Chain A
Amino acid sequence: MSKQALAGLKVLECCSMVAGPYCSKLLADLGADVIKVEEPDGDEARRRGPFLHDIPHPERSGLFLYLNTNKIGLTLDLAQNAGKQIFEQLVRDVDIVVEDKPPGKMQDLGLDYESLKCINPNLIMASITPFGQTGPYKDHKAYYINTFASGGECYLLPGGDEWRRNHDREPIKTGNYAGEVQCSIMAVAGILLAVYYRNASGCGQYVDISKQEALLNLNRVELARYPNQGFLENRMTRMLPVGGLFECSDGYAQIMPLEDHMWYKLVEFMGNPEWASDELFKDRASRTEHGERANALLEVWTKDQKVEDLYHGAQAEGCAVAPICSPEDILKSEQLKVRNFFAELDHPEAGRLSYPFTPYKLSHTPRQAKRPAPLLGEHNQEVYGQRLGFSKDDLIRLREAGVI
């Protein structure tokens, strides 16, 4: 097999739930050797659904399985002195530590960057927390809905037409854990910047990732409209003049005839209905002005259309249209199959499943789905025994003491 982009890079992850684990999964999918360290009772994500056949089981959480592919797994109680010492031994031999404890917690454990740097001077350490390591909110508690609320986009959802239907209702977060995964993407870029710099200079460093800042960055263009243009965006102003979400006979479609040529193509695809030749819709400015009317007329037509026909038909003409895909549509997509977007992995408890894999293809260092998520403590024997040299008796004692 060819080499992967991050082959040889060693990562120690002590994180739970989504943002930290997915960040180190991104490294693992690129070929890094990632050791996941879990508390003896396991990552919280193991207790979160979806579960295989809907029966809660720590080895059968779809969330955990998805977030932890390509890693090996250990259990370790960092609060015990013996656990701390083992962690320090592990740190000696890695390039990167990724952690997501509340600010100050690693320091309390004696495992903060300053301490670990003494053990491994070139270490890169990344902390992923809701508000970062400094500032008045650093100790604020935030679960994923709170984190997403802090990032600026939550206030703006749902926008446009859906707002019009629900204009007295509360803002909503994006589906599932999407905001947390976005934080992972920002965090992994920070880590790789540090790796690149270390390869060039030999120096490690500390990377302080604030989830709030990660999310604000994703919304940087919209947020800057307020200080720079004096315009405060809200859910109402997120209205597209023409186009948007439309109901079809068997689902919904997103239709975006933003540019003139797309509008004309769409009109052609509709079979040149009489209303579309109205002066009101002749150019962009006029359509913008009479957008509500254009959309209402469009939806009369879309309600009789099948989503897939509309999608491929309009796209063939060059108009930006998409089905609103459900998870089922995604798993059945021909396009994604041809791209080999899914990886098939066998897991001893969950069986053989299709996993969404990397959205990018690297021509010379192709991705490899090497292993499914680790069972709880699956690699204790291998790592503590073979790599660190603990004897069988040591391991029994450590297990009895609840250290591993």
Chain B
Amino acid sequence: MGVLNGLRVLDFSQVWAGPLCASSFGAMGAEVIKIESLKHLDFTRLVRTVSGDPRHMVISTLAKDTDIVNSSSVFNSCNMSKLGIRLNLSRSEAIDIARRLVKMSDVVIEAFRPGVMDRLGLGYPSLKEIKPDIIMTSISGMGSEGPEKGYATYASIFSALGGLAYLTGYRDGRPTEIRATMDQTVAMTAFFATLAALIHRQQTGEGQHIDLSARETITCLVGDAVMDYAMNRRVQTRKGNADDIMAPHGIYPCKGEDTWISIAIANEGEWEALCDVMGNPDWTRAEKFSDSLSRWHNQEDLDRLIGGWTVKYTDYEVMDILQKANIAAVPTFRADELVNDPHLDHRGGWVNVEHPVLGTLREITFPWRLSVAPPEHHSSPLLGEHEEYVYGTLLGMSASEIASLQEREIIY
């Protein structure tokens, strides 16, 4: 039993942000129906990589090969805990069916470019006529208005527009491309905004339309830098791992290839504890490290010296040694470490998901540990897996009706 039991969500979205938002509803107990079509298949079903390496991504052209479309683990990561149907929205009869589904749903999620849903006859004004209290969540790069609406965006595009790319990077380096987590940040913003709309509906019976802008979502992550410009006309730029006050505050090499630990020192007590743990080498008593401001001004030297100590130990060893001394030290965990990490293991940070084609998959647990009803994790739908339930049980179509729709490539 989930906290969103009884809620039905229609997911018209593809690729990352929209699907991940809809998936969160599914994990918390809502019935989520993903609408797909062979006519316009979700990109993540087709992505194949050589041993998972995204640099060698190949997009399959064999869209009709069900072995291909049903065996993408990336699709699974984006679409867990949903039902799936095919519906070819390029056909008017399919639009009528979609509208019948809207009539029995609570939430519609879409991430087409602004205007597409309207052209399909599925814009908010028409959905509202069918279902007055429907909540429709539209996710787009720019939002549905303004001179740049409809611009093409990917994750790295809205992280660039949002300011995060500009502010991330080495002090002496270029801006940094930021990708996957950007979509999820947008997805989760859409998720909580939709939950707020649902709560309003519980209280008043009123639905509404949510118009979310991905680039604005990212700017909210760095609002303090925008405030600095608003207040002081200062253009903040890249600071590497430095903090404005704390030093040391950085990421240091550990024993083993490409293994690192983050360490941050906030006060004199922590600094002294760090010196003790390192065995109080002479350099820690140097004038240039004698107080926090001096340490901040000489942080490059400081970082090099601390790195000379951390590199003698593995990242887990440094974490254990320093945390015992009450010093903030955490490795920059890699996926291979996270999979076996004792803390995540204890908390169930990963779950096993049984996939009918791919077998047992490991996925990150949804993070909402609600004491009444924690999240549930089911595999993503095979293409058209739940048509019997959706078209037959929910819409009351007969087997022959369904067969006819399939034949005419409306259910396609």
Do they bind each other? yes
With A217-B366, A221-B16, A225-B52 given, is the CB distance from A149 to B163 under 8 Å?
no
> B321 at the A/B interface (Cβ < 8 Å)?
no
Chain A 1-33 interface residues, beta-carbon cutoff 8 Å to B: 3, 5-9, 26, 30
Chain B 185-212 interface residues, beta-carbon cutoff 8 Å to A: 185, 188-193, 195-200, 202-204, 206-212
Known: A203-B372, A222-B335. 16 other contacts (CB 8 A): A158-B169, A173-B251, A176-B224, A190-B369, A195-B195, A196-B195, A209-B369, A210-B367, A229-B51, A232-B334, A245-B175, A315-B151, A325-B162, A325-B163, A335-B149, A336-B216
Contact mask A160-187 → B, CB, 8 Å, 1/0?
A: 1110011001111111111001100110
Contact mask B235-258 → A, CB, 8 Å, 1/0?
A: 111111101111001111100001
With A49-B244, A364-B208 given, is the CB distance from A145 to B262 under 8 Å?
yes
Pairwise interchain contact B16-A143, C-beta atoms closer than 8 A: no
Contact mask A117-143 → B, CB, 8 Å, 1/0?
A: 000000000000011101111001111
> A223 at the A/B interface (Cβ < 8 Å)?
yes
Pairwise interchain contact A244-B212, C-beta atoms closer than 8 A: no
CB proximity of A325 to chain B, nearest CB, Å: 5
Cα-based distance from A398 to B373 in the complex (angstroms): 41
**For B199, what are the chain A residues with a Cβ–Cβ distance below 8 Å?**
5-6, 9, 192, 195-196, 199
With A137-B343, A331-B230 given, is the CB distance from A155 to B168 under 8 Å?
no
Among A48, A135, A227, A262, residue most surrounded by chain B Cβ atoms (within 10 Å): A227
Contact mask B216-236 → A, CB, 8 Å, 1/0?
A: 110111111111111111111
Pairwise interchain contact A194-B167, C-beta atoms closer than 8 A: no
With A176-B167, A315-B151 given, is the CB distance from A5 to B221 under 8 Å?
no
**For A103, what are the chain B residues with a Cβ–Cβ distance below 8 Å?**
none
Pairwise interchain contact A218-B333, C-beta atoms closer than 8 A: no
Contact mask B322-347 → A, CB, 8 Å, 1/0?
A: 01001111111111101100111011
Pairwise interchain contact B335-A361, C-beta atoms closer than 8 A: no
Contact mask B288-324 → A, CB, 8 Å, 1/0?
A: 0000000000000000000000000000000100010
> B271 at the A/B interface (Cβ < 8 Å)?
no
Pairwise interchain contact A327-B51, C-beta atoms closer than 8 A: no
Cα-based distance from A203 to B158 in the complex (angstroms): 39
> A52 at the A/B interface (Cβ < 8 Å)?
yes
Cα-based distance from A149 to B124 in the complex (angstroms): 41
Chain B 325-383 interface residues, beta-carbon cutoff 8 Å to A: 326-336, 338-339, 342-344, 346-347, 349-350, 358, 361-373
CB proximity of A253 to chain B, nearest CB, Å: 8
**For A197, what are the chain B residues with a Cβ–Cβ distance below 8 Å?**
3-4, 370, 372-373
> A368 at the A/B interface (Cβ < 8 Å)?
no
